[in-house]
């Protein structure tokens, strides 16, 4: 099950994502929000877990986000996450808030725990009330053995996604095996600073809330906040990390000698999920990675990366396998970062296409061929300093238009 | 020729745009940059004219912009504008700069005027050197009578545009008839704060440079800077206004009793050109207008308007005639303006779709039918203050992807 891919001492497994860490169960079922596909899922921990969350910056936060944030604030612990897809419970007013609270209360009742230990979250169509009859019925059954299935959980959180998104890693802290697992969904409305994106990360590490939150925020800035599909930041984005301590390591803090191993593990999990979301962007045929080096600050590097990865013109050119470096250079020029045009070098994969303020000599057919691959890298050297950043996104295709001209988010 | 449409005392003509004001000639020809279509054009004034310009904020300003800005700085007057399409002379280094200077010098020679009285500008593919042999040949002939034709000028400045864009207005200042005419191009890479957009405005008004510039900047903020097609701000954008004084009104200043009439005339010309550019956005089937009312500041109103008009999800929904108010509300929520979600009202044309934090009762089929029209209006009431703004854009279609996956900008 565990694959032999390692980064330092961190072993990456692609299976048993959110249930690889000790003491977690997950499941999913069809309760009747969507026509046929799975639409209700849960993750539960055997014991209350420290929790950290990051949430959409959209002012129209959906009802479940309000409920979850308020609940977490009580003691910074949760024991369960309940998710529905097919309906975002956003822009649903007082009734929406009441519905989110009902979801929380009823699932807590089934588990026999306090309400505030249940996080609730929703994704799907905006502005329609949840079909509470179906959801309530679902909640009554979902903890039954037949629905306990980690694969079902990953499916139950999807909307226009074409594939499930998961990863798990293992490493050693204080001689104890620690695992981090993650599952995510997200396909449209994906933009830096969260998106219609849900990320659920579980770990059995022993770590206090404050340190977990600090690690999550740091890692989110270089992962989930660096992806874009369409520039729209949704009302429902949320990443939650649960840490139940069952690995029995000494409590992790920034002063722990193996703090960096944990943070790197979390980074691998979040980066992998973020890239999978970008790769599965609505209508996408390619994962695009933009690496920006030599910036005078990390924020400058991020701004240039986001500007390029968000450009519809760059995205359509990549779809059309057109080595159109002019559009990349244009996007650098309007990023808001004071770059020096003649100092910049731009490469498409291994091919330098722009340098010293001029197009480079390159063989168009070679670059076109490179652009046909499923993973396209654009590399920008700003030559202004030592900071760097990476952004991920996808190409813009006919299918993006097709999906969004007809699908009701 | 002059149509009977009036706004106050301002008469709108749709014909003889840049040559309606006294003392202007315009022309265009095919010199061989493009395969077949016209690609070189000029506007000349009988006498040197006061000039005001606004330019792209992209750091990679193309060579002709550098040359033109430097020339204008000399005495704030020009007598001629020379434009080529098919090649942007952008990212072309020292040679590009030399070529722009050659264009300027040779056209000045043909006219028998000083070099700095000629503004040069280019639009088209980025990063290729101009075919100077063809351009030089063209310059030698273009002032011949056979090429003098205002229609040809408007055609010679186009790239992926599907139609010419022009307007002219007339009004009275000090009892003298004053005219303002305008022509523009722009279809892709269109975004607030200028775009691959060229705008040329002529007037016979007598007005000093400083006042002309102040009027142009003010009007640009509510017109050219409020349109978007794809969020990309190009390297070559420029709007130039020439004022040659041949109408013989007393010099216009802000203290002139009829200053507002002039400014309104300029506003009508620039707004009309801006809307025509948005309407002709690459692949567009609809002009979309977003009106934002009740903001606490004009900048806030503009930010909300731009956020909505720039949303790929809103644009695809309009293409698909989907009354997807959720995407509009989402775009308001991430605009960066601190709005009050429950205070907002959103309408699609005459239909209220969102109010008091909740979707309104509306008949889906009626709104769908409205969205089938070629002019779609979205109205947002923020209920926070008295400021308002209007933004224009277009829908996002299969053809946008098609054009940009294959066309080399």
Q: From residue B223, give the alpha-carbon distance in Å to each of A399, B121, B147, B210, B219.
A: 32, 21, 31, 20, 6
Q: Identify the bridge partners of residue B10 per DSSP, sorted by sequence position.
A: B7
Q: Tell me whether residues B232 and A316 touch, CB distance under 8 A.
A: no
Whether the per-residue pLDDT at B235 is higher than 80: the answer is no
Which phi and psi angles does B110 have, rounded to 5°?
A: -65, -35
Mean pLDDT of B259-263: 95
State how far the Cα of B311 lies from the Cα of B332, in Å rounded to an integer.
10
Is residue B129 less than 8 Å (CB to CB) from chain A?
A: no
| B196 carries an active-site annotation | yes
How many Cα atoms sit within 13 Å of B261 on the Cβ side?
Answer: 22
Is residue B338 less than 8 Å (CB to CB) from chain A?
A: yes
**B34 CA: distance to closest CA in chain A (Å):** 19
Q: Point out the residue among B233, B329, B401 whose CB comes nearest to the CB of A334.
A: B233
Q: How many CB atoms lie within 10 A of CB A225?
A: 23
Whether the per-residue pLDDT at B176 is higher than 50: the answer is yes
C-alpha distance across the termini of chain B, in Å: 36
Dihedral, CA atoms, A186, A190, A192, A197, nearest 10 degrees? -30
- A chain contacts of residue B330, beta-carbon cutoff 8 Å: 58, 60, 126, 189, 232-235
Q: How many CB atoms lie within 10 A of CB A377?
A: 16
Which phi and psi angles does A265 have, rounded to 5°?
A: -60, -45
Per the structure block, which two tokens stand in for A394? 């996808």
pLDDT bucket at B86, cuts 50 / 70 / 90: very high
Per the structure block, which two tokens stand in for B57? 């904020």
Mean pLDDT of B153-181: 94
State how far the Cα of B189 lies from the Cα of B230, in Å rounded to an integer.
6
Instruction: Give the residue carrying structure tokens 């009734």.
Output: A95
Is residue A350 less than 8 Å (CB to CB) from chain B?
A: no
The confidence score (pLDDT) of residue A233 equals: 65
Q: What CATH class has B287-406? A: alpha beta
Q: What dotted CATH number matches B2-279?
A: 3.60.70.12
- B chain contacts of residue A91, beta-carbon cutoff 8 Å: 326, 329, 341, 354, 357-359
Instruction: Report which secondary-structure segment, H or E, holds A399.
Output: helix A398-406
- B chain contacts of residue A341, beta-carbon cutoff 8 Å: 59-60, 91
Cβ-Cβ pairs closer than 8 A, A with B, add up to: 187
Of chain B, the percentage scoring pLDDT greater than 90 comes to: 76
Per the structure block, which two tokens stand in for B295? 């903001």
pLDDT bucket at B189, cuts 50 / 70 / 90: low
Architecture (CATH level 2) of domain A2-278: 4-Layer Sandwich (3.60)
B389 in Cβ contact with B298 (< 8 Å): yes
Instruction: Report which secondary-structure segment, H or E, holds A54.
Output: strand A40-55
Q: Point out the residue among B316, B332, B339 whose CB comes nearest to the CB of A404.
A: B316
For chain A, the domains span 2-278, 287-406
A404 in Cβ contact with B316 (< 8 Å): yes
Is residue A408 less than 8 Å (CB to CB) from chain B?
A: yes
State how far the Cα of B99 lies from the Cα of B85, in Å rounded to an integer.
14
Q: Tell me whether residues B233 and A330 touch, CB distance under 8 A.
A: yes
* CA-closest candidate to residue A160, choices A135, A132, A196: A196
- A chain contacts of residue B404, beta-carbon cutoff 8 Å: 312-313, 316-317, 320
Per the structure block, which two tokens stand in for B294? 């009740």
Q: Tell me whether residues B322 and A354 touch, CB distance under 8 A.
A: no
- A chain contacts of residue B90, beta-carbon cutoff 8 Å: 326
pLDDT digits (tens, 9 = 90+) for B310-340: 888 899 999 999 998 988 998 998 898 999 9
The confidence score (pLDDT) of residue A404 equals: 78
How many Cα atoms sit within 13 Å of A86 on the Cβ side?
Answer: 22
ipTM given for this complex: 0.77
pLDDT digits (tens, 9 = 90+) for A11-53: 998 778 999 999 999 999 999 999 999 999 999 999 999 999 9
Is residue B97 less than 8 Å (CB to CB) from chain A?
A: no
A294 in Cβ contact with A340 (< 8 Å): no
pLDDT digits (tens, 9 = 90+) for B274-296: 999 988 888 889 999 999 999 99
Residue segments in chain A with a per-residue pLDDT below the cut of 50: 1-7, 192-195, 409
State how far the Cα of B50 lies from the Cα of A254, in Å rounded to an integer.
65
Per the structure block, which two tokens stand in for B88? 């942007």
Whether the per-residue pLDDT at B193 is higher than 50: the answer is no
| Average pLDDT along chain A | 91
List, as ranges, residues 172-191 from B with C-beta within 8 Å of A.
188-189, 191
State how far the Cα of B37 lies from the Cα of B43, in Å rounded to an integer.
18
C-alpha distance across the termini of chain A, in Å: 36
Annotated binding-site ranges of A for substrate? 159, 185, 196, 282, 404, 409
The confidence score (pLDDT) of residue A7 equals: 47
Q: Tell me whether residues A317 and B357 touch, CB distance under 8 A.
A: no
């Amino acid at each position: 099950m565990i694959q032999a891919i390692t980064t330092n001492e961190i072993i990456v497994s692609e299976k048993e994502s959110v249930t690889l860490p000790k003491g977690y169960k997950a499941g999913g079922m069809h309760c009747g929000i969507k026509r046929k596909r799975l639409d209700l899922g849960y993750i539960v921990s055997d014991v209350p877990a420290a929790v950290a969350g990051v949430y959409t910056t959209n002012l129209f936060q959906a009802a479940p986000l309000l409920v979850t944030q308020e609940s977490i604030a009580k003691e910074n612990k949760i024991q369960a996450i309940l998710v529905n897809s097919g309906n975002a419970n956003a822009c649903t007013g007082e009734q929406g808030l009441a519905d989110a609270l009902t979801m929380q209360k009823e699932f807590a009742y089934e588990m026999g725990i306090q309400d505030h230990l249940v996080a609730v979250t929703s994704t799907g169509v905006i502005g329609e009330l949840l079909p509470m009859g179906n959801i309530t019925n679902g909640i009554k059954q979902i903890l039954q053995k037949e629905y306990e299935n980690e694969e079902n959980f990953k499916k139950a959180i999807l909307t226009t996604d074409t594939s499930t998104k998961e990863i798990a890693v293992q490493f050693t802290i204080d001689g104890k095996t620690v695992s981090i697992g993650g599952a995510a969904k997200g396909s449209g409305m994906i933009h830096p600073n969260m998106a219609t994106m849900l990320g659920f990360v579980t770990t059995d590490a022993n770590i206090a809330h404050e340190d977990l939150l600090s690690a999550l925020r740091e890692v989110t800035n270089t992962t989930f906040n660096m992806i874009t599909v369409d520039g729209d930041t949704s009302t429902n984005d949320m990443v939650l990390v649960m840490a139940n301590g069952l690995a029995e390591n000494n409590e992790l803090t920034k002063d722990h000698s193996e703090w960096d191993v944990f943070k790197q593990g979390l980074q691998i999990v979040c980066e992998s999920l973020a890239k999978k979301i970008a790769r599965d962007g609505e209508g996408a045929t390619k994962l695009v990675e933009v690496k920006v080096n030599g910036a005078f600050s990390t924020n400058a590097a991020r701004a240039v990366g986001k500007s390029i990865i968000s450009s519809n013109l760059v995205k359509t050119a990549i779809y059309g396998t057109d080595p159109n470096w002019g559009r990349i250079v244009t996007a650098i020029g309007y990023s808001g970062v004071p770059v020096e045009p003649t100092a910049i070098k731009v490469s498409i994969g291994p091919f330098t296409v722009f340098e010293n303020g001029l197009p480079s000599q390159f063989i168009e057919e070679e670059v076109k061929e490179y652009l046909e691959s499923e993973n396209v890298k654009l590399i920008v050297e700003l030559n202004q300093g030592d900071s760097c950043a990476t952004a991920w996104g996808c190409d813009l295709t006919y299918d993006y238009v097709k999906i969004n001209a007809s699908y009701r988010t």
